[in-house]
Amino acid sequence: MKTDREIHVDVLGALKFDPQIKEQHIAVAVKDGIVTLNGEVETHAQKMAAEQIVKRVAGVRGFAEELQVNPPGHHRRTDADIAEAAVNALRWNVLVPADRIQVKVENGWLTLFGDVTWNFERESAAKAVNSLVGLRGVSNKINVRPFVAPSRVKETILQAFERTARQEAQDVKVMVDGGVVTLEGTVHNWVEFGEAEWAAWSVSGVTEVRNHLIINVHKDKELSQARAHAA
């Protein structure tokens, strides 16, 4: 176990070693393995970098970051400039669904709003704007809310049935509420019952499948007779 003094020395050394950071403007305090940073940095990117540096130091049990971002004159931007830059940064990032994200800037502080399907999209949005000039901070209020189209679930179930040369699932009704998919209707047997549920789970954004399908053995007999007649 490192002492607080040893951790203090290591944190200072790590901050000094990184060329992004001007460590002379940062005060480091350590108590019971918890590191607190106070002082000023010139950019939000430097603030984020300082946080990552501290977290990598062995022995650190906790972290409190109280750094203030004070951009120098040539880095200062209006809120409108930052908002425009943020919109462009989101638009140019292939991992971000920019059309589903809104931005708000107040006194240099950027807030991200909107709904996305995956957490990596939420994290990618924050990373896309972290290094903007003039930025003082970022609040990521993007929600991860899966979007599931009923037609997509139905299509996937049909494809699953077709791959096993079974009757198309025309009698399967699909209802979607958020990420919850409810299946109703009839199928021929337990195999189709399981295939329909598996297919619903395979659609991105689905968080729960409620399988209320009914197995109609008479349908299976009618299908066999129809195939025999056709042969």
Residues 12 and 37 in one domain: yes
The residue among 48, 70, 92 that closes a domain is 70
Distance (Å, rounded) from C-alpha 92 to C-alpha 98? 8
Residues 84 and 129 in one domain: yes
pLDDT value at 43 more than 80: yes
Q: Provide the pLDDT confidence category of residue 38 given band limits of 50, 70 and 90.
A: very high
Is residue 214 in a domain?
Answer: yes
Q: What pLDDT score does 169 carry? A: 60
Residues 165 and 187 in one domain: yes
Q: What pLDDT score does 219 carry? A: 54
Residues 81 and 44 in one domain: no
Find the CATH number of the domain harbouring 40: 3.30.1340.30
The residue among 144, 167, 200 that closes a domain is 144
Is residue 109 in a domain?
Answer: yes
Residues 40 and 57 in one domain: yes
Name the token pair of 145. 């809310």
Q: At what angle do helices 119-129 and 79-91 cross, to 10 degrees?
A: 130
Distance (Å, rounded) from C-alpha 216 to C-alpha 190? 10
pLDDT value at 148 more than 90: no
List, in order, residues 6 or more apart from 188 with CB less than 8 Å away: 166, 167, 215, 216, 217, 219, 220, 223
Range of the domain at 38: 4-70
Is residue 231 in a domain?
Answer: no
Residues 128 and 99 in one domain: yes
Pairing of strands 137-140, 143-144: unpaired
Number of structural domains, the chain? 3
Residues 14 and 51 in one domain: yes
The residue among 106, 126, 144 that closes a domain is 144
Distance (Å, rounded) from C-alpha 27 to C-alpha 34? 14
Residues 22 and 88 in one domain: no
Distance (Å, rounded) from C-alpha 50 to C-alpha 104? 25
Least confident of 10-14, 96-100, 128-132, 226-230: 226-230
List, in order, residues 6 or more apart from 231 with CB less than 8 Å away: none
Residues 158 and 221 in one domain: yes
Most confident of the following: 43-57, 75-89, 171-185, 210-224:
75-89
pLDDT of 161-180, one tens digit each?
666 545 556 678 888 887 78
